[in-house]
Homo-oligomer: A and B are copies of this chain.
């Protein structure tokens, strides 16, 4: 911790601050600068009590307190320099092979899901996505098929061999969802629902953690830390767009998270351009950018008839556009050194 004192502080005032720092288990180190005095407090910030309250305790003396240690450990690349890979049935995520997870926003019917699953498989997708429990802004909107949707996903997996990813919404459904899915998705609205993160982690299933709408990268890494701290190391981060002032797109897809997560963490990074753009016509360009920047996988919403979709139709691409997208991605995947 670095503690910056206000200008013109007396020796006595300074001594009181130093005493408090020692009391909290840190060793203070005083530096007298030109304009003000700075104290370095030496000690482990993760295990000792925080010094951030010093500004409150000594409002006339302490100007500000700055942490110098990173607050996340297990998700950090410092803790685990090599890339982590995650096994999902026969697939390995985070390795040399590039993956595409595709499927409908919501599971609506057996026919809709199987048609989509077969089409995305034929186009080259390796994992099937589909929502059974849906978080909806309004209580009057379709909330998902629930367990019936999970059963349809399991059926689609049996028929196509594609592993399945679906969202978990409630702590009470953690075991139920884990019984059907291969990857548990935690949505943006629940990205700091720590009870849900813990419940998901305990199932032992791989977790895909979406970034919250206004989540700083540090907070996202710390939310991931909840998963690893509960003994589940199969974590992927998924950027899906943040909330900004711009209204042309539904969210602002922050593709810089790809090199940033690669730098700070060993966990794979997945890009969801469907939520990010909120418009099918931007999805294709977003996917190309994500591949070029080094993402490990894409998560794309695909629907046999987007206009008939029961949720978020505006951002789902049709089977034809998806097949075309997969063809167009190939040279970029090769250019990025992936398979």
Using a CB–CB distance below 8 Å, which chain A residues touch chain B? Answer: 2, 4, 7, 20, 29, 31-36, 38, 40, 42-46, 50, 52-59, 66, 68-69, 71-72, 78, 135-140, 169-172, 189-190, 192-196, 213-214, 216-219, 222-223, 225-226, 229-230, 242-249, 252-256, 258-260, 263, 276-277, 280-282, 284-286, 288-294, 305-309, 313-316, 331-332, 334-336
Contact A53 B307 (CB under 8 A): yes
Contact A38 B2 (CB under 8 A): yes
Which of B4, B7, B137, B248 interacts with A78 by CB under 8 Å? B7
Which of B54, B138, B214 interacts with A72 by CB under 8 Å? B138
A69-B35, A292-B332 given as contacts; is B229 within 8 A of A216 (CB)? no
Interface SS of chain A:
mixed
Contact B243 A53 (CB under 8 A): no
Contact B46 A42 (CB under 8 A): no
Contact B255 A306 (CB under 8 A): no
Q: Please list the 10 inter-chain residue pairs (A to B) with the smallest Cβ-Cβ separation, ordered nearest first.
A: A57-B307, A53-B313, A214-B214, A292-B292, A331-B335, A289-B289, A259-B285, A189-B192, A31-B40, A288-B292
Contact A66 B69 (CB under 8 A): no
